[in-house]
Amino acid sequence: MRIEEARLVYKEGEMVLWISKRIPRPEQYKPRDVIAIDINERKIVYGNHEINKDIGTAVGRAYKWKVLAESLQRRYSSYRYPAWKRRRGVLNRIRSYHRKARDVLEDWARKSPLKIARLAVKLQHAVAREDLTGLINSLRKIKNKDHRTKLIIMGYSRLVKWIDWQAMKLGAPIVIVDPRDTSSECPNCDSKLEENGYRRLKCPRCGFEADGDVMGKLNIRKRALKILGISGRSLAPLTAP
């Protein structure tokens, strides 16, 4: 590791020391299997055919800070506070709430992929995720987006960048798969899945059953294995609840 540059800058009332360093990129290994990542608004589900883990998203926590900022802004923009914009303390507090929302998302988007990438390296697995470009672009086209939608866009955009970066930094191969039908197709026999209770899906052909997020993870793994040319193990007829 070699330090390339150090800069002392003034940012938002504080002096911040920025240090850039050059870290040698590790060589990628030949993966034995895949750690697949299924992302939705509520959580990140990741693992292979045996491992199933999840991490809650930060959208809800970030949204609370946005609501606080908007509430404070509405309060001091009423006729009772005609000079609210000249109140430095109030303005700084509103800005700090918006900044807190961004920081919560950034921290989550940076740390979650690191945890996943470390597991992949430990197992000598590749990291696989869906191509979320289409979903992000479609969300951006929505007119009059509320704060939650804006935070979802921000969260997805940052998360996929950090997934790729953390995998590359640690030397884990990264595979990006087509997201179409990952949550509606049976990972065992490719048949169309049917609902079987709250958030559970079942294949009418082979009987394979699992949570919708698990189905998505398994399909992402299956497609990544095909891209990598690795033969995967067959799945059990029925998953545990």
Q: Looking up tokens 């504080």, which residue turns up? A: 14
pLDDT of residue 6: 79
Distance, CA of 132 to CA of 182 (rounded, Å):
12
Nearest to 131 by CA among 233, 223, 228, 34: 223
- pLDDT tens profile 89-125: 788 888 899 999 999 999 999 999 999 999 999 999 9
> Quick check: 237 pLDDT over 50?
no
Distance, CA of 141 to CA of 12 (rounded, Å):
32
Residue 90: burial class (beta carbons within 10 Å; 0-12, 13-18, 19+): middle
- Average pLDDT of the chain is 86
The pTM of this model reads 0.82
What average pLDDT score do residues 39-52 get?
92
**Domain range summary for the chain, segments of one domain joined by +:** 2-228
pLDDT of residue 234: 56
The pLDDT-based confidence of 238 (bands split at 50, 70, 90) is: very low
> Quick check: 149 pLDDT over 90?
no
